Structures are given as C-alpha cells and as structure tokens.
A and B are shown apart, each in its own frame.
Chain A
Amino acid sequence: MIESIGIKYIWLVPLAPLLAFILITFLFKRFKLLSALTAIFSMVVSLILTLDILRVILTGHEITMNTPVEMAVPWLNMNGLYIEMGALIDPLTAGMLFVVTFISLLIMIYSVGYMHGDPGFSRFFSYLALFVFSMLGLVIANNYFQMFVFWELVGLSSYLLIGFYFYKDSAAQANKKAFITNRVADFGFMIGVIILFLYFGTFNFLELAEGISASSDLAFLTLAGILVFIGPIGKSGQFPLHVWLPDAMEGPTPVSALIHAATMVAAGVFLLARGFILFVSAPATITFIAYLGGFTAFFAATIAITQRDFKRILAFSTLSQLGYMVMAIGLGSLTAGMFHLTTHAFFKALMFLCAGSVIHALHKQDIFEMGGVFKKMKITGTTMIIGGLAIAGIPPFAGFWSKDEILLVAKTNGFTLLYVLASVTAFLTAFYMFRLIFLAFFGEKRSDYHAHESPLTMTIPLMILAVFSIFGGLIGAPFVEHGFSSYVYFGEAHHPQPDYMVMGSSTLIAAAGIFLAWLVYIKKAISAEKIANQFAPLYKFLYNKWYIDEIYQWFFNKVVLSISALLNWCDRNIVDGIAHGIAWVIRTTGAKGRYIHTGSLQTYGLVIFAAVVVIVLFLAGPVVGGVQ
C-alpha cells in the first residue's frame, strides 16, 4: 500500500466542499464572511489532499495510467443491479483534481471581492461549494453510474448558478435552457450507460475496459460509444447542443470562469478520456468525435468574430477550444486533449476573471462601449493580454504547446482536412481575441464610464493565473522529459517529437491573426463596417449564430407546444368525451326507468353488487362447473 494521506482520505476531497455547502446553507447563511471562509477552507483541504496525491504520482511512479489505485464501497445491491461509489486514482484523475481544486480556490478568493455587497453572497458560496463537490465526485468516479450521478449534479449546480440572479428574466430563461439542453444529451448518455451495463454486467471503468478490449462486437461498441458521446456533446457544448453555453453567461462572472469555461464544460472531455477505450475501439465513433470536434472549433470561432459582448465572445471561444479538445480525443490522442484542457483551464479562467474585473469596474459588457480601459486597469489589462497570447498560441505561452500538439496529432495521423480546419480556426482565434483586446483596452474611450483597478482579492488570482498561462504549457512541451505525456496517456506513453514545421506555421498563423486585428481596430487601415456591409448576408448569418437558436425556438414553439395543445384537447374532448358519452347513455336510460332509482348510495351499491354477481356467474359459470 502506498503511503499517502491524499489517497487514504481521498473521499474527503469531494466531501469537504459538500460539508461546506451544508454548513453554509443551514447555519452560516447570515454570516457572509464566515460563509466565504468556510467554502475557501474546504477548498484548501481538498487542494492539499490533491497535492499529496500528485506528489505520490510524480515521485513514486507506482501509480500510472495502467496501474491505477481503486477503492469503492457498495451503494446499492439489488438482484440485477449492483452499484458502487468509489475512487479511481491515476494521473488523469490527479491532474483533473488539481485543475478543479486549484482554480476553484482562486475563483472563490476572487469572488469575495467580486460578489461584495451582493445580497445573495452566502447563497453564492454555498452553490459554489455544491458545484465543487459534484465536480470532484465526477472526477474521482470509478464507474459510469457514479459519473452519471455527479454529471447530473454538476448540471444542477450550473442551473442554480446561471439562475443566480433569478430576478432577471434573461437569467431565468438561460438556466432553463441550459438544463433542458443538457437533459437531451443525458438522455443519450443514460441509454448508453444502461446498455453498457446490460451487455457487460458492470458500470466499473476497469472491468469495462477489460470487457471492451476482449469484445469484437463492433456494432454494439459503436452504438454504445455514440450514445455515451451524446453526453459530452451537451455538457461540452459541441454542435448542435452548444446553444446553452453562450446564454449561460447570465450567471455571475466567476461562475462563467469556473463552471462555464475551466471545469464543468470540460467534464465532457474528461469523460471521453476516462472512457477512452470505448470510443477508440470503434473506428466510426472515434472518427465522428474527431470531425464533430473539429467542426465545432471552426463553427464557434466564426461566430466569435462578430459578437459584441465581452463575455459572449469568451463563451464562443470556449466552445471553439472545447472543440479542439474533443477533436484531439477523436484523433486518438488522450494526451493532447487533456493537455489542452489543462492549459485552457488556466488561460480561459484568467480571461473570464479579467472580464469580471472590467465589468465590475465599468458595469458594461459591450466591447464597443469600452476602449482605453488599459490606462485605468493596468493589472487586468496586462493579464488579459497574457491570456490572449496564450489562447492565440504564441510561444512560449501555455496555449501554444497544447494547441500545437493537437495540430501535430492531426498531421501525423493523416487527418489533413482537420489539420487545415484547425489551422484556420487558430487564425480566427487570434483575430477575435485581439479584436476584443484592442477594442476594449486600447484606442479612445467610446462611452462615458468610470474605471478603476479592482481590489487585491481580485487581482491576485489574476496574477497567479497569468503565471500559469505563461509557464503552464512547459509541463507538456516536447523538449521536456517526463512531461505531461509520460503521465497521462492511453496504452503506452507517447512522447511527442518537436515538429518545427507545425510550430513555425502555427506561430505565423497566430501572428497573422493578431496583425490583422491590429490593422483593423488600431491602425484602422481596413474598415470592419465596410467588410460587414459588403458581405452583409454572411455577416448577419454569423452574427445570428447560424440561426441555430431560432430553429430550436421554432421547433419548440410550433411543434412541441402544438402537439402538447393537441393532446390536451384530445384528453378533454375525446378521452373524456367518450367517458361522458357513456355516462350520458346511462343517464338517459336511467331517466326512463328512474322510478327504480331511490337516490341513496346504498341502493346503488346494492345494484353494483348484484350486477357483479350476475357477471361473475355468467363468466365463471363454465369454469366453476369444470372444477366441480
């Protein structure tokens, strides 16, 4: 047995925030600071335990992807259904635990400043703690059932937090949309989990892995893989179930950073990594995943270049980056997908927190109403630029290394179309991100606002995340031995070789994107309005997000609600109508012979009984005769 407090008390990692949630909800609600401190303290506990697990993995080399540690307790034992709750500890779990606990801690600290003065301050921290509990339960899950349970619970916390400002109609609309969209996805996920269980007789990841690798039933594996993948399509906002994520920006900004950028939306990618063998054993599934991810990356980026809302641009950027991760998994590289997930968590959380800092100061979200913010908010501005460089993929920032690895995998595995698509997306990414930065932070002030730098509780998390956004990618850089790829992999560790062609071209593409943004929005050598007018139909198409929301809205209002109204009418007029018709016949017959109706309940009872006896004698006569 490996000596480690972190492994021994791993159940405390999710339970500490759960305890915090319970304490805040039932006891500390009135005491704002105490609520925040409880949540933060629970996060510190989880983080310390996580760090200990990481230490064991990094120093001991005993726990690898192929030799994980597993522990479990029975949760439900019925004839035909055995369910456990447990923990599966391997480098994948440990890495994800670190991302979740570390970023959650920073965001809770940030929120003390951001949510200051909000009447729902304690409620906010209780929901955050509930979220972290659910997310950590999902990360350590050792079986699909547990994964599904916590998958739904993160959905619940997301619902509660998107609707945190429940008094805003838009927020009440957005959280419903998020939940229902995810429900549609979970419908597929749940069926997938059930058929896996019925086929292999277990939910357990390790036992399933054995069963799947021994199975040659390709049709079944393909079906199960696609069904389970529908879950991540919803949670990780892949086309066509991405519609909820941009609207989820109605939640408080720290929530957008934590849940709708860094961690929860990445749960879909994590599931793909955790259940990797299921997807990779069916070529059709894995190819579908790759192309859907690649398309989502491109699709979301095209929308991002036209949007005006600071947070919505970031939301579409998140969709696009999730597309990269999903594509990486689909290309067969668990390592590249998880690596990008990790670096993205840092720089996207950073950018959302910067957005929060700006919105907190300006009370505006439209980047066209900003301009020149950098002069007033030096720390926020600088860290935002670092985030921008990281996501654009400029070396040596974090995003460069992870995005490069994905491009490399696409190239070496021979997916030329996806390689091209991903490169085009990289160009769009650099462009829309610096469009945002130039418009918001530079140039002249375009509306009347009063800006000031945010307090230290907000800027310190920014600075920490900025450091990780600069150097975080080095853990997986190709020239680092024993880097990310030698811990998190599938099957055999595969150390990426530096490909200077890919590196060079991707850097050039990113630089070109930034340069174009500079030409348009700083130098104003090219007029954006002119281009928009010239290609008006295309611009409108992109600005309206390919009209996907409108299609769904139409489908719901015209089709679903009409069917519902029709069935309601049938129920009242046909189903009930027949019953009333029968009643009418009886009543009319009764009117003719009403003299036998005394109006007393006893008489009716007697008649019913007599009728019953007659019917019985009639029906059972032959049978009874036979017995005697």
Chain B
Amino acid sequence: MSFPILSSILLAPVLGILLILFIPQKEDKLIKIVAAIATGLTVLLSLIIYANYDQSIGGLQFVENIPWIDDLGVTYGLGVDGISLPLVLLTALVIFTGVFASWGLEKRVKEFFIFLLALVAGVFGVFLTTDLFFFYLFFEIAVIPMYILIGVWGSTNKEYSAMKLTIYLLVGSAFALIAVIAVYLYTGLGTFDIQTLTQQTYDIGFQKFAFFLLMIGFGFLVPMWPFHTWSPDGHVAAPTAVSMLHAGVLMKLGGYGLIRAGIFIFPEGARFWAPVIGILCIVNVVYGAMVAMSQKDLKFVIGYSSVSHMGYVLLGVASLNTLSISGAVAQMFAHGIMTALFFALVGNVYNKAHTRMIADFGGLAHQMPRIAAGFVIAGLASLGLPGLVNFVAEFAIFVGSFRVYPVLTILAISGIVITAVYVLRVVQNVFFGPRNPKWDELEDVRGIELVPIVILCGVLLFLGFFPSFLMELINNGVDPFVQQYLTTPKVGGMF
C-alpha cells in the first residue's frame, strides 16, 4: 500500500489537536501557529492530491480500506473522486484561512482551536469516506464541536442559536440515519460501502421511501426551505472562523450527501422526488434573496444569501443531468469560498467596530479600502459576475436545468437580479458615501489579517478566469454516474 495520503489529511488536524493539548494556555501565539501549520498541511496535501489525481482514469483514487467492525461490515474506507476532491480542497482552504481570520482571538484560545480542528477533522472525514457508516459518524463528530464553538465563543443570541442549530442538524441526520440503516438491512449484503450500495438495484417503492428520508435529512443541512431557519441564526451567532466553516463547508455536506448517497444510490427515487426539490429550491433562491434584502445585520444578509445560493445547488441536483449536477458541485465550491470571504471580512469589521448593523456604517471605504475592495469582490461573486468562479458554476446549473425545468430555471435566474439589488445596497450603504468621522480610528486590514482575503479572492478570480481546472474535474467525477444511472434526462414535466 502506498502512502496513506487521505488519512494524512484526516490526521493533520488531529495531530494539531494533540500538539495544542500540550501547549500551555498562555502561549496563544504558538497555538495559532500550530493550528495554521496543521491546516496548512491539509491545503498542501489536497493540492498534491489534486495534482496527482488521474482524470483520464477517473473514479475513486487514493483508496484506503481497513476493515473496522467486521460483524457489521463497517470499513474504514477513504477515497476521492471528481465530486469529493473539490470539496476536500474547499474545506482545506476555508479552515486554513479561517485560522488566520481568528488570529485576533483572545478568549480561551486553546480550547477554541482544539474544537475548531476537531470540527474540521469531522468535515474532512465526511468528504473522504467511502463508507456510509463513517459518513454518518464523521458528520456527528463535526456537529458537537460546532455546538460548543457557537455556544461559548459566539455573539448575538448564541445559546439559542447553538441549540437550534444542533437540534436541526441532529433531526436532519436522524432522518438520514434511518435511510442508512434501512438500505443496510434491505440489501442484506452486510456492507456500508457506498460504491457497492450504488451498484445494487432497489425496487421502486423502497427507492421512493429511502430517497424521501435522505431528501428531508440532507434538506435540513443544505438547508432547504422550510428547514433553513437554523442557518442564518447560526451564521450570525458563530465566531468568524466557525461562520466561515459553517456556511462555507458544513452546508455543503447536505448537497454532497444528497448527490452521493441520494441520487446515485436511488436514481428512481430521485426522479420521483426531484420536482419537489425543484420547487422548494426556487423558494430558496427567490425567498432567500428577498428576505436578505430586509436584513439590518450584515451577517444576516450573508446568512440569507447563503440560503438563496444553496437553492442553486438544489436546482442542479434536482435536474439530474451531468451538467446540472457538476454545476451544483462547482457552486458548492464557489459559494464556500465566496461566503468564507464574506464572513472573514465582516468578522474583521465587527472586531474593530463592535457592530454589524448596516445603518451604523457608511463611507467605510475611506477608512478600510482593502476591506471594501474585498467586499466588492465577494459581492460581485455573489451576484454572479463573470470573471469569478461563481458565475461559471451558476451558468452550468442554468444550462443544465433549463431543458428540464424551463420555468423554474427562469425563476432561478431572476435570483441574479434580486441578488444584485441587495448586495449593491449593502455595498453602497456600508462602504460608499461621505467619510464618517465616527469610524476614523478603524484600521484597515494589514499583515496577517490579509491572508484570508488574498487567498480567497485569488481562488475566486483564478478559477473565474480558468474554470476548466475545477469544472472538468467535477464533470469527470459526475459523468460516469449519470451515464450509468440517470439516462433519461426529462423529469420536470410541465415545469
């Protein structure tokens, strides 16, 4: 067996935790450096995997399989393909930049980074594992630190939000768990291996039943309307790095699960339920954007904009073709980077100004030109401007979905207009206008604070100009599944 590079990604944060455990609390600089190195390592490893992933072969690569619980058929199985690799890369980038965004943290630094690294280890596990049992396990590993991180280090209504988030996520995962156990019992093969389960055929009644559970379960995570209210509250309450991970990565677990465990294992069930997702996702897109327009707190704007943007992911999933699903995966990546950038910027403003109310600001571009530039770039990504990767992802979703649900897709495209309205209003009200002397003592970002902004903006721009580096990998991962399991393209009927 070759070098277990995927396990190394998983272990890097764990190693970080172990090291931090032995560092005294007051050495917070050192703790941060260790966290930065541990997460930097994950970025490096995922880039190495990206460079060595052989697209001409495709499929799962860097596979590791260790039997875990023989009696149950649980295997510690890891592997990446064109769908999970971009999300692994996303996780690594977001957590690495998230550490730098938490550089100014002073409260209980040691515990904070321990929980943060535990959280991210769980998230990596979800994307890396090829076994449904571990998929579920890693997900639960991610939820608990999230609860603690928000409950202890959060702001604005943090106990309520932390509890709400945890309950929603656990209820969602309970639905998914039922489906997992059901499929395990149904096949009777005694395995949780996703690939094996994907190759089985299931009778249509069971498919409808199982997909429904997954749709609701992962719908909680995405979050699909009307299960979304935990997410804006959670975003707002969470400390910066956790917001970044939460909106940037954790929500993507839902979309990823829906694709990997939902439509690939139960294609007929997916075809049955897809129109429901199609309609709910339009509610996500349009309703989310309209609600975002009314928000007064910057973080709530971004929170609802995430609800709106994840609607595009659901639209891509519901359309069940290579292009739309690839677009959905790309949109998860693009949105993850963009929203992490947003939260990093807002976190920075909040740390210095101690408010996030839009009405308190105005003319901030005078004092914080770099923050303003970063915010404009994130905003433009959010409204789908060409030159930033979000546009390519959205465009792929639109083209892929249009032939399936023309009416719904047109409604979804209208989302880009509404997004432009609320994003540009925020930009205008916060950053433009006359200089406000009240904020004269605010300092612009510099030095280490710049790291997240530069990296995340760089990724958005680079992949915006050269999208083939991302899109063709994803296409390569999605296409074989679609060719094999989802050959009939038309599912929408009148929509």
List B contacts of A152 (CB < 8 A).
385-387, 391
In the complex, the answer to whether A180 meets B424 with C-beta atoms within 8 Å is yes
In the complex, the answer to whether A180 meets B421 with C-beta atoms within 8 Å is yes
Tell yes or no: A575 within 8 A of B by CB: yes
List A contacts of B144 (CB < 8 A).
601
In the complex, the answer to whether A565 meets B294 with C-beta atoms within 8 Å is yes
Contact of B472 among A78, A149, A561 (CB under 8 A): A78
Within 8 A of B (CB), among A560-611: 560-561, 563-565, 567-568, 571, 575-576, 578-579, 583, 601, 608, 611
Tell yes or no: B399 within 8 A of A by CB: yes
List B contacts of A568 (CB < 8 A).
290-291, 294-295
Q: Closest residue of chain A to B287, judged by CB?
A: A567
In the complex, the answer to whether B416 meets A80 with C-beta atoms within 8 Å is no
List B contacts of A191 (CB < 8 A).
410, 413
What secondary structure prevails in chain B residues at the interface with A? helix
List A contacts of B273 (CB < 8 A).
none
Tell yes or no: A173 within 8 A of B by CB: yes
Task: Write the nearest CB–CB distance from B205 to chain A, whole angstroms.
Answer: 8
Q: Number of B residues contacting the other chain (C-beta, 8 Å)?
A: 66
In the complex, the answer to whether B178 meets A183 with C-beta atoms within 8 Å is no
Q: In the complex, what distance in Å separates the CA atom of A627 from the CA atom of B185?
A: 9
In the complex, the answer to whether A80 meets B323 with C-beta atoms within 8 Å is yes
List B contacts of A198 (CB < 8 A).
399, 402-403
Contact of B290 among A563, A576, A608 (CB under 8 A): A563
Tell yes or no: A194 within 8 A of B by CB: yes
Task: Write the nearest CB–CB distance from A364 to chain B, whole angstroms.
Answer: 22
Contact of B185 among A81, A576, A615, A624 (CB under 8 A): A624
Tell yes or no: A620 within 8 A of B by CB: yes
Tell yes or no: A501 within 8 A of B by CB: no
Given contacts A176-B428, A612-B174, contact A156 B421 (CB under 8 A): no
Tell yes or no: A169 within 8 A of B by CB: yes
In the complex, the answer to whether B479 meets A616 with C-beta atoms within 8 Å is no
Within 8 A of A (CB), among B130-188: 144, 167, 170, 174, 177-178, 181-182, 185-188
List B contacts of A583 (CB < 8 A).
167
Task: Write the nearest CB–CB distance from A285 to chain B, whole angstroms.
Answer: 19
List A contacts of B322 (CB < 8 A).
78-80
List B contacts of A561 (CB < 8 A).
293-294
Tell yes or no: B344 within 8 A of A by CB: no
List B contacts of A176 (CB < 8 A).
424-425, 427-428
List B contacts of A619 (CB < 8 A).
178, 182, 209
Tell yes or no: B253 within 8 A of A by CB: no
Q: Closest residue of chain A to B401, judged by CB?
A: A194
Within 8 A of A (CB), among B354-400: 363, 365-366, 380, 383, 385-387, 391-392, 396, 398-400
Q: In the complex, what distance in Å separates the CA atom of A620 from the CA atom of B188?
A: 12
- Please name 30 pairs of A and B residues whose Cβ atoms are closer than 8 Å in the assembled complex, sorted by A: A75-B468, A77-B468, A77-B472, A79-B323, A80-B323, A81-B323, A153-B386, A156-B380, A166-B431, A167-B363, A167-B366, A169-B433, A169-B434, A171-B432, A176-B427, A180-B420, A187-B414, A197-B399, A198-B399, A198-B402, A563-B290, A565-B294, A567-B287, A568-B290, A568-B291, A568-B295, A575-B228, A612-B178, A612-B181, A623-B182
List B contacts of A172 (CB < 8 A).
428, 432-433
In the complex, the answer to whether B170 meets A81 with C-beta atoms within 8 Å is no
Tell yes or no: A163 within 8 A of B by CB: yes
List A contacts of B178 (CB < 8 A).
612, 615-616, 619
Contact of B399 among A74, A80, A560, A620 (CB under 8 A): A80
List A contacts of B424 (CB < 8 A).
176, 179-180
Tell yes or no: A76 within 8 A of B by CB: yes
In the complex, the answer to whether A78 meets B291 with C-beta atoms within 8 Å is no
Tell yes or no: A277 within 8 A of B by CB: no
Q: In the complex, what distance in Å separates the CA atom of A169 from the CA atom of B436?
A: 12
Task: Write the nearest CB–CB distance from B286 to chain A, whole angstroms.
Answer: 9
Given contacts A76-B471, A571-B229, A612-B174, contact A194 B417 (CB under 8 A): no
Contact of A627 among B188, B225, B399, B433 (CB under 8 A): B188
Q: Closest residue of chain B to A620, judged by CB?
A: B182
Report, nearest first, the 10 A-B pairs whose CB atoms are least far apart.
A172-B432, A80-B323, A149-B386, A568-B294, A78-B475, A564-B293, A183-B420, A166-B432, A79-B322, A176-B424
Q: Closest residue of chain A to B168, judged by CB?
A: A579
In the complex, the answer to whether A163 meets B400 with C-beta atoms within 8 Å is no
Task: Write the nearest CB–CB distance from B147 to chain A, whole angstroms.
Answer: 9
Residue in A76, A78, A156, A628 with the greatest tally of chain B CB atoms within 10 Å: A78
Q: In the complex, what distance in Å separates the CA atom of A92 from the CA atom of B170?
A: 62
Task: Write the nearest CB–CB distance from B458 to chain A, whole angstroms.
Answer: 12
In the complex, the answer to whether A564 meets B291 with C-beta atoms within 8 Å is yes
Q: In the complex, what distance in Å separates the CA atom of A601 from the CA atom of B162?
A: 14
